[in-house]
Structure 1
């Protein structure tokens, strides 16, 4: 049309003036109508920017997951009440059937235990369990109950079955709603965990505003504040503990896995809440990366090495073969021995050998009274032997006179005693 558009500060000021004076410029326009028009225009612009659609109402997810938790609690209470109530009549049935649904259907089918033999449980139980139920009914130690009691128990069983069917229907609805609202979050953490995260945060937008560190411990606020108060270790995971990727990891790697999953879940939440496209490529790619990371952690490998190589040292294992070495006594001293020391050693050892030879020769000479001559010895050895022999002779010489003097004294005393005895005898 040949019209040029101009956009600057002057045009913006002109539009503000027109907007402020629009009631006077347009006759019959009221302020209420103008406010409604402005509100509708603002909503349309926001819906266009955020790609808002009725299918992405996260309030329905919050209500559905809350109702699902309530139904689980009620089902547990009703089932335990049924087992306790019917256990007075047939207590053996509770030990035979551990599945709650099979127990409820069996009670509805059988009624009293007397009808167990004529009842057909092929649609509910296997052949082995059916035989055990019939055998247990014949030897049961339970009390007798009336038909009115059985009627009330059957009504309770019917309510349990209805709640079970409704729970399955509600779970299917929740699964479809989560796939429509947050497909990438659903792929990463699952339907139930994703719905609980959204319910805990309030909405998907609020969850997208949280950082990864908050998403990691979301649901463990009490444990977090208790740890901060007592100055203990803070929790490593909250609602993410029930995710499939975290539960299939070993105990030592659950903290690492929850941290990585929280980081990817934070990106997926922002992509689902504010992204223009609704593809699931991001979630599938991140899940495959996390799965490969799990396998690396379980095998003991690490992607990154710290500055000092500590992370690599944790996973390395020493498997070297140790060589057996023998101890060499000759390697104790490395200094060469002098010839003087050798002479001294020989000098000390020789006399001992010669003494032994002398002892042997002396013994042989005494036994055989031989006339063999002794060998010549060294001068020093002869001198030492001569000195020892002379010293012994001197000692013997000194000891002999002392011994002879003592003998003389004793003999004189004996003679005196004999003389005294003779004199005494003569006097008598």
Structure 2
């Protein structure tokens, strides 16, 4: 029996000299307390040294994936003919058995034997000292860390999480700065706040106009519509605002420059986020849009973590406080969280938002798994599911319209079945019963019957 041992310097094959000692797992560790006793249990049969760091890195990454590298396959073919091989990874053993037709063993005895070999590694392998093994281990670990970071699938998710977080921060800053401009310039021209509603247009107008006395001789056609421009010039003449000096206007214009530059950067960041989402999660983007999809990924931590969640969790993701408060107070649980801002939910009537959000969450969970674990990078699945959801929304609205259209009709007559009726007498309706009772009462009155 042979045992495969991986080291930072290369692969080693050890021959088990006394296989009977493997049956006593508890006493196996005592055999490796000293180098002399360890040599009586195993002996080095062959050693394949790595030529450079690149070969060591390739072998290490293959071992992490539980697959033998090209050098390991060549090494085992040369020295494992007709032998049984003990390995530390059962999946690696299955791969070796499938590709090389070598019987592999993975059990407690083999793991304890490998543990003992590790303690006496420098004594069992001649020419490999502890002072050489330590720098090799450190260099290989650094190379492996760089490789995993370079080819990590979560790395792109991190970019999306940071981008959507920065986008939300920019929105808050823009709103804060825009309100500060309105309050600051409102002392000079308070009527402008009512005339120009958009914050970016307001900042551009203030930067161009400066003092309100300049409004009459300026052209605002590139910023404002014609009717708004006319109203602005008329209001500037009769404004009730106070006068400001040039130093105040200079600081206000600098704040306007800040708002406009942040607005331009936000537009660039949104384009970047849109391209990233279409690349990383095209199906999720097709279903819920770039912003909602990015917020779902950020809330889940990564696309892979989000793929592990069921549709019911995706539906209420972002409404955890409301969910736990409802469970604590025994009220109705929320029907939607972040997914409420998706366009499909927004198109639905209030009474249908719960149904559409549930259906959308189920389709979104499938789209997330397809994006995270699938091989295809197109959005065909997301577009197909979106078409199905739009058809369901139309069906719900059509059913509601059909009910409201038929509600004006009279209620159907409820016919009472008479089990004692004669053949051919038909059913007795409440109207017939009422008319018969009236006729019998009139007849009794005429005849003087009580």
Alignment TM-score > 0.5, same fold? yes
* C-alpha deviation, 1:27, in angstroms: 3.9
CA gap of 1:98–1:328, structure 2 versus 1, over 3 A, is same
CA gap of 1:296–1:90, structure 2 versus 1, over 3 A, is same
The one of 214, 221, 225 equivalent to 1:126 is 225
Identify the residue that residue 395 of structure 2 maps to in structure 1: 296
Contact 2:154 2:302 in 1 (8 A): no
Q: Count matched residues.
A: 326
Deviations 1:260-305 (A, max 9, x none): 111111111111112222222211111111111111111128xxxx
Identify the residue that residue 138 of structure 1 maps to in structure 2: 237
Alignment gaps of 5+ in structure 2: 1-73, 82-99, 414-430
CA gap of 1:330–1:262, structure 2 versus 1, over 3 A, is closer
Identify the residue that residue 149 of structure 1 maps to in structure 2: 248
CA gap of 1:316–1:273, structure 2 versus 1, over 3 A, is farther
Deviations 1:68-91 (A, max 9, x none): 111111111111111111111111
Q: Give the alignment of 1:138-217 within 5 angstroms.
A: 138-217=237-316
Deviations 1:280-339 (A, max 9, x none): 2211111111111111111128xxxxxxxxxx999986846889x8986798349x99xx
Contact 1:205 1:273 in 2 (8 A): yes
* C-alpha deviation, 1:131, in angstroms: 1.2
CA gap of 1:33–1:242, structure 2 versus 1, over 3 A, is same
Identify the residue that residue 407 of structure 1 maps to in structure 2: none
Q: Which has the higher helix share?
A: 1
Identify the residue that residue 30 of structure 1 maps to in structure 2: 133
1:106 is the counterpart of 2:179: no
Contact 1:56 1:181 in 2 (8 A): no
Q: In the aligned structure 1, how far is the partner of 2:397 from the partner of 2:342?
A: 18
Q: In the aligned structure 2, how far is the partner of 1:174 from the partner of 1:39?
A: 31
Alignment gaps of 5+ in structure 1: 302-311, 347-428
Identify the residue that residue 391 of structure 1 maps to in structure 2: none
Deviations 1:241-272 (A, max 9, x none): 00011111111111111111111111111111
Contact 2:315 2:336 in 1 (8 A): yes
CA gap of 1:117–1:317, structure 2 versus 1, over 3 A, is closer
Identify the residue that residue 6 of structure 1 maps to in structure 2: 101
Deviations 1:25-63 (A, max 9, x none): 57447255357658967997x89xxx9567961111111
Q: In the aligned structure 1, how far is the partner of 2:436 from the partner of 2:333?
A: 59
Deviations 1:360-411 (A, max 9, x none): xxxxxxxxxxxxxxxxxxxxxxxxxxxxxxxxxxxxxxxxxxxxxxxxxxxx
Q: In the aligned structure 2, how far is the partner of 1:228 from the partner of 1:314?
A: 35
Q: Give the alignment of 1:229-244 within 5 angstroms.
A: 229-244=328-343
Q: Larger RCO: Structure 1 or Structure 2 (Cα < 8 Å, ≥ 6 residues apart)?
A: 1
CA gap of 1:108–1:43, structure 2 versus 1, over 3 A, is closer
Q: In the aligned structure 2, how far is the partner of 1:290 from the partner of 1:330?
A: 57
CA RMSD of aligned residues (A): 3.9
CA gap of 1:30–1:55, structure 2 versus 1, over 3 A, is closer
Q: In the aligned structure 2, how far is the partner of 1:80 from the partner of 1:122?
A: 24
Identify the residue that residue 401 of structure 1 maps to in structure 2: none
Q: In the aligned structure 2, how far is the partner of 1:105 from the partner of 1:146?
A: 19
Contact 1:61 1:195 in 2 (8 A): yes
Identify the residue that residue 191 of structure 2 maps to in structure 1: 92
Q: In the aligned structure 1, how far is the partner of 2:169 from the partner of 2:377?
A: 31
Identify the residue that residue 61 of structure 1 maps to in structure 2: 160
Contact 2:186 2:241 in 1 (8 A): yes
What's the TM-score once normalised by structure 1's chain length? 0.66
Contact 1:55 1:181 in 2 (8 A): no
